[in-house]
Amino acid sequence: MHTHLPGPGRRTPVSTYRLQLGPDLTFADAEKALPYLDTLGVTDVYLSPVLQAAPGSTHGYDVVDHTRVSDVLGGRDGLERLAAAAHGRGMGVVVDVVPNHMAVPTPAWHNHALWSVLRHGPESPYATWFDVDLAEGEGLLMPVLGARIGTVLAAGELVLDRAVVPGDGDAEQPVLRYHEHVFPVRPETEDLPLAELVGRQHYRLAYWRVADEELNYRRFFDVGTLAGIRVEDAGVFDATHALLLDLFHAGVVDAFRIDHPDGLADPRGYLRRLHEATGGAWVVAEKILEEDEPLPDDWPVAGTTGYDTAWRLHALQVDPDGAAPLAAVQHEVTGERTSLDDVVEQAKRQVVETSLYAETHLLATMLTDICRADVRLRDHTFRSLHDCVVELVVAFGRYRAYVVPGEPAPAEAERVVREAADVARSRLDPDRHDTLDLVVDLVLGREAGSAGRRDEERRAELVVRFPQVCGAVMAKGVEDTAYYRWTHLVSLCEVGAAPARFGVGPDELHEHARRTTESWPATMTAGSTHDSKRGEDVRARIGAISAHADDWADLVRHVRAATADLRPADLDGRTENLLWQTLAGTWTAAGPIEADRLTAYLVKASREQKAWTTWTAPDAAREDDLVRYATGLLSHPDVVAAFGSWVERVTPTVRRSVLGTTLLQLTVPGVADVYQGTEVTGTSLVDPDNRRPVDLDGIAATLEALDAGRTPSGLAEEKLALTAAALRVRRTHPAAFVGEQAGYEPLPVTTGRAVGFVRGGPSGARVAVVATRLADHPGTAEASVVLPDLPAGETWRSALTGAAVASGPVTLGGLLGAWPVALLVAEPSGAGPADGADA
């Protein structure tokens, strides 16, 4: 049996539909949506995290209690009713799991485990849960104060009070209050003078800015309100997964999606434990792969959550000929001549020196401790070790390497660490090179210094910590900083994407599909996710700029000149270039998106750039100027006319991109996921914009009308009809799409402006897919594709039109008709319309 397929008796989804649960979408709401999802063709409902989250949570990734299903969502009863209704329709239930961290909520008592640790320190039954050494230093750092502790005490803002803490006994207990924050008081210290009492706790209350320099617990990237937990500890795993596994074995939940495994101390160990506990359930991991990075073969998972496929499918619709003209526009607007590599290096270096300074400082401290404990190493100073750590993590080209203490480093891990070291060496003074070699040996778990010291606890901890820090630096430095600064074509700056690749061709897509079929046939494919920088249709509209690059350059010059009197004198060039492309991505035939959505996005993007304004030090005046300028553009006559003409000009290209990308994402190897609402076109930007409520009832009514024979009106309805057709074909012919014998073969096509392939199971080819790409070209309609021969008595039939199509060569114009894509199903010659066709 294929090692990356679910175990015997375990469900493999054929397609999933992601529901972003919250106060506005509860289990009961999801249950009401099931008839529509069933009609759409979905086989499995894919739920965002379901455990009890922090008060007011809008996403569920801030878990506070692993023993309860979220009350806000409807509790266990609500989840069980939803699951029973789904199973009654033959649909499965996939649940998102957050193993890496828990919330540090306000008040803290909402997280009972954390409250216990804060109150009792090393004596707490939860003392081993959190990634901090409670036996050393001043206790868990709580950086919540608006000023330094001395100022807060002098102002009387921190007060001793009493409260009944939910879940921690019925009697009142002493607490420390700081505005809305509440903290426990260590037993037998409540009678001390306040300043002494504060200093005697198992935690250290501190000014919020201290976190970036002295944080002593592992957090989720640089988010201090999400504290890392030690799920590598068997007891912690058992306690935090007991309810989820109970739901699984009770038949309520069928499969899992794992959030951010790269933050864990031992991703492989965690996934193996989950695999064993579930008997090989279908599990996909949110692993962000770089362009040439393989998913570790020793992970017992079905694959990734689909970023690796998403960026390739978008890049397939990006015209390489647009690279040079758009580079010229970038230079003209930003005034910069720089490379993506330089932007990434500068951004990573900035986060290492600021928001993630505490993490790199900790690595240098650990290295210093190791060196001081070994006479052969003690001449390596803290400063030299710190310099080497900084250069190594800045140079690291992917999220992390996978090294397990006590095991030889895998060849792939050793290669990527040494490649980063080669880059770091070029940036270090020669006197540091010996120290760098030592750091490399230590993070790879190799023997260094005196013999026989490889397995010391501090050295093992370094092997674990270093890759966790690398991942945080990649996430915050690249995706959350550099990708907001690099504005060549912003649709390429996506989670898990490769912006340096300005377009890919059909052959590269086929090669990716071949590798997926061979190694990860049940992985997930995605178009949009809750973490996407922008929705798939926004990416398509921005990507169309590449196919009309000269026209775009003219448009930008025209609207810049026409609005020069409105433009702030100190408007940042990168922000401006991002603004113009965001307008292209969100301006439709109906006009621009709402001003409040656009400006909220621009402010967030600017703060993520960390250049002229930041989250921690916002420049309110310049942000207000940006908001006024962007708002003014939406009604400016020249801008409205220019973008109206632009939308009309690029509509055929956008249509081709939207429908082509949709069909390919739903038919390439893997389990196809649809993010809520993306079965119709949209204008979603980064979160929280992409978590806005979706009118599923309205979409269901439209689908019902289409199924009744109404011709799709406009791109949104075309996308819905295509999505339904593809999902229904998948459900009817699951063996052609998922499973060990699901095949993939490229189709011969005589133009690079189209891509085609067939999917088939043990009985041969059952489904053929053709999609066009890029701008109109006069020769495309006359180009041909060769459809495979079928057994006697069968013919190809369009799932979109119901028309029969003969095997052999056929022109694209004759095959596609009014559609830019074709979805064909092998059926008996006398059969009616294919499943999914308009009846």
Q: How far is residue 718's CA from residue 724's CA, in Å, rounded to a whole number?
A: 10
Beta strands in 449-523 (DSSP E): none
Write down the residue that tokens 């086929």 correspond to: 510
Cis status, amide bond into 184, omega within 30 of 0:
no
Q: The tokens of 282 are what?
A: 């279908």
Q: Do the Cβ atoms of 666 and 723 come closer than 8 Å?
A: yes
Q: What pLDDT was estimated at residue 169?
A: 76
- Mean pLDDT over each residue of the chain, to the nearest integer: 95
pLDDT in tens, 128-149: 999 887 666 678 889 999 999 9
DSSP H or E stretch at residue 761: strand 754-761
Q: How far is residue 487's CA from residue 479's CA, in Å, rounded to a whole number?
A: 13
Calculate the alpha carbon distances from 494 to 291, 479, 508, 532, 819 in Å: 12, 7, 19, 7, 28
Q: How far is residue 450's CA from residue 442's CA, in Å, rounded to a whole number?
A: 12
The whole model's pTM is what?
0.95
Write down the residue that tokens 């307008």 correspond to: 583
Domains of the chain, start order: 15-100+231-305 (3.20.20.80), 108-228 (3.30.1590.10), 342-483 (no CATH), 695-828 (2.60.40.1180)
Is the pLDDT confidence value at 839 over 60? no
Q: How far is residue 304's CA from residue 309's CA, in Å, rounded to a whole number?
A: 9
DSSP character at residue 141: E
By CB atoms closer than 10 A (0-12, 13-18, 19+), residue 745 is middle
Q: What is the mean pLDDT of residues 803-829?
A: 95
Q: What stretches of 666-783 show up as alpha helix (H) in DSSP? A: 696-707, 714-732
Q: For residue 679, give the nearest of 521, 535, 799 by alpha carbon.
A: 535
Q: What pLDDT was estimated at residue 392?
A: 98
Is the pLDDT confidence value at 442 over 80? yes
Strand-pairing partners, residue 784, are 811
Q: The tokens of 754 are what?
A: 């189209």
Write down the residue that tokens 């009770």 correspond to: 250
Is the pLDDT confidence value at 98 over 80? yes
Q: How far is residue 71's CA from residue 84's CA, in Å, rounded to a whole number?
A: 19
Q: For residue 671, give the nearest of 525, 529, 536, 769 by alpha carbon.
A: 525
Q: For residue 703, give the nearest of 36, 17, 35 by alpha carbon.
A: 36
* Cα 396–chain centre separation: 20
Q: Name, in order, each residue with C-beta under 8 angstroms of 526's C-beta and a sequence gap of 6 or more.
A: 305, 306, 307, 309, 310, 665, 673, 675
Judged by average pLDDT, the poorest of 139-148, 291-300, 432-441, 691-700 is 139-148
Q: The tokens of 459 are what?
A: 């050295």
Q: The tokens of 685 are what?
A: 């930007």
Number of helical (H) and strand (E) elements in the chain, helices listed first: 27, 26
Is the pLDDT confidence value at 1 over 60? no
Is the pLDDT confidence value at 223 over 80? no
pLDDT in tens, 598-648: 999 999 999 999 999 999 999 999 999 999 999 999 999 999 999 999 999
Is the pLDDT confidence value at 237 over 60? yes
By CB atoms closer than 10 A (0-12, 13-18, 19+), residue 213 is exposed
Q: How far is residue 303's CA from residue 287's CA, in Å, rounded to a whole number?
A: 9
Q: How far is residue 179's CA from residue 588's CA, in Å, rounded to a whole number?
A: 46
* Cα 747–chain centre separation: 32
CB-based burial, 629-665: b 16+ in 10 Å, e otherwise: bbbebbebeebbebbeebbebbeebbbbbbbbbbbbb
Q: Do the Cβ atoms of 810 and 751 come closer than 8 Å?
A: no
pLDDT in tens, 297-314: 999 999 999 999 999 999
Is the pLDDT confidence value at 220 over 70? no
Q: Look at the alpha carbons of 116, 121, 124, 127 in this order and tell me if their dihedral is positive or negative.
A: positive
pLDDT in tens, 325-353: 999 999 999 999 999 999 999 999 999 99
Q: The tokens of 36 are what?
A: 């529509």
Q: Name, in order, each residue with C-beta under 8 angstroms of 394's C-beta and a sequence gap of 6 or more.
A: 345, 348, 349, 352, 424, 473, 477
Q: Do the Cβ atoms of 157 and 205 come closer than 8 Å?
A: no
- pLDDT bin (cut points 50, 70, 90) of residue 838 is very low
By CB atoms closer than 10 A (0-12, 13-18, 19+), residue 156 is exposed
Q: How far is residue 602's CA from residue 582's CA, in Å, rounded to a whole number?
A: 9
Q: What pLDDT was estimated at residue 469?
A: 96
Count of residues making up the chain: 839
pLDDT in tens, 753-769: 999 999 998 878 899 99
Q: How far is residue 334's CA from residue 330's CA, in Å, rounded to a whole number?
A: 6
DSSP character at residue 300: -
Q: What pLDDT was estimated at residue 833?
A: 62
Query: 637-665 vs 307-315: helix axis angle to the nearest 10?
Result: 120
Q: What is the mean pLDDT of residues 371-395?
A: 97
CB-based burial, 399-432: b 16+ in 10 Å, e otherwise: bbbbbbbeeebbeebbebbeebbebbbeebeeeb
Is the pLDDT confidence value at 837 over 70? no
Q: What pLDDT was estimated at residue 804?
A: 95
Strands 173-178 and 181-184, bridge-based pairing: antiparallel
- pLDDT bin (cut points 50, 70, 90) of residue 696 is very high
Q: Do the Cβ atoms of 511 and 309 come closer than 8 Å?
A: no
Q: The tokens of 646 are what?
A: 């632009």
Strand-pairing partners, residue 827, are 795
Coil/strand/helix, residue 719: helix
For the stretch 115-122, contacts whose Cβ atoms lie closer than 8 Å and that sit 24 or more positions apart, written own/partner, are 115/165, 115/167, 115/168, 115/184, 116/168, 117/202, 118/142, 118/183, 118/184, 118/201, 118/202, 118/203, 119/168, 119/184, 119/185, 119/186, 119/187, 119/202, 120/186, 120/187, 120/202, 121/186, 121/202, 122/202
Q: For residue 660, give the nearest of 551, 760, 539, 761 by alpha carbon.
A: 539
Coil/strand/helix, residue 369: helix
Phi-psi region of 452 (alpha: psi -120 to 50; beta: other; left: phi over 0): left
Q: The tokens of 227 are what?
A: 């504290």
Angle at 738 between CA 509 and CA 771, to 5 degrees: 35
Calculate the alpha carbon distances from 287 to 6, 413, 672 in Å: 18, 16, 17
Q: Do the Cβ atoms of 299 and 267 come closer than 8 Å?
A: yes
